[in-house]
C-alpha cells in the first residue's frame, strides 16, 4: 500500500468508525444473538460467550461504508460488490435469502478477528490487506474463507479459535511496521 493511501485511509478512520457506530445503532433492534439461532454446528465450533455476544442482522442489500465519500476511491469498487455478508465489530449483516451456517461461520471468524485486534488495528489491517492483495487474497479474508471450507467439510483443526487469534495478531505484526512507516513518511514531525 502506498504511503499516501495509508495516510488517507488512516485519516478516514474517524468517519469510518462513526459510520459503523451509526449503522449498528440503526440496526440494534433487529440484531439477534447468534446463540438464538440454535445452530448445533456453530455451538460445537465456537465458545458460548462468543455466540452470545455476536449478533446477526438479515438485510438486503448488505451495507458497505461510502468509502469514496471518505476520500478512498481505491476501495469504491467494493461498494458495488453484491456482498453476501459483512462484519462490523461483533455484529454481522447477511443478505436476505443467503443465510446459512457456512456464511455465519465465515462472519464469526471476522468477529474473532475484530475482537483480537480491536477496532483501529482491525480496520488498518483489513484496509492494508485489501489494497495490497485484493479482496479474496486479503489475509484476514483469506483466513475466513479457508476456515469456512474446513467448517463445510467438517475438518476444522483443534483449537482453531485460538489459531484465529494467533494468525490475526501475526497478520497485524506484518502490516503494522509498513503502516507506521507510511504514516511517519506522510506526517513528519
The pTM of the full predicted model, rounded to 2 decimals, is 0.96
pLDDT of residue 186: 82
pLDDT level of residue 187 (50, 70, 90 thresholds): confident
Give the C-alpha separation, 175 to 121, whole Å.
10
- Count of all residues that appear for the chain in the document: 189
pLDDT tens-place string over residues 92-143: 999 999 999 999 999 999 999 999 999 999 999 999 999 999 999 999 999 9
Tell me the helix, strand and coil percentages in the chain, rounded to 5.
Answer: 65, 10, 25
> How confident is the model at residue 188, as a pLDDT?
65
Eight-state DSSP code of residue 70: T
Amino acid at each position: 500500500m502506498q504511503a499516501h493511501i495509508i495516510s488517507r485511509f488512516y485519516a478516514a478512520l474517524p468517519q469510518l468508525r462513526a459510520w459503523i457506530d451509526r449503522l449498528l445503532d440503526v440496526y440494534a433492534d433487529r440484531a439477534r444473538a447468534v446463540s438464538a439461532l440454535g445452530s448445533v454446528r456453530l455451538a460445537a465450533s465456537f465458545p458460548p460467550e462468543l455466540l452470545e455476544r455476536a449478533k446477526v442482522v438479515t438485510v438486503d442489500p448488505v451495507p458497505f461504508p461510502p468509502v469514496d465519500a471518505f476520500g478512498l476511491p481505491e476501495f469504491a469498487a467494493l461498494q458495488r460488490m453484491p456482498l453476501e455478508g459483512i462484519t462490523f465489530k461483533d455484529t454481522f449483516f447477511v443478505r436476505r435469502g443467503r443465510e446459512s451456517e457456512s456464511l455465519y461461520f465465515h462472519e464469526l471468524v471476522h468477529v474473532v478477528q475484530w475482537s483480537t485486534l480491536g477496532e483501529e488495528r482491525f480496520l488498518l489491517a483489513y484496509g492494508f490487506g485489501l489494497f495490497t492483495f485484493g479482496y479474496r487474497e486479503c489475509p484476514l479474508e483469506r483466513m475466513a474463507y479457508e476456515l469456512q471450507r474446513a467448517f463445510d467439510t467438517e475438518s476444522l483443526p483443534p483449537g482453531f479459535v485460538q489459531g484465529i487469534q494467533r494468525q490475526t495478531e501475526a497478520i497485524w505484526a506484518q502490516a503494522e511496521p509498513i503502516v507506521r512507516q507510511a504514516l511517519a513518511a506522510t506526517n513528519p514531525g
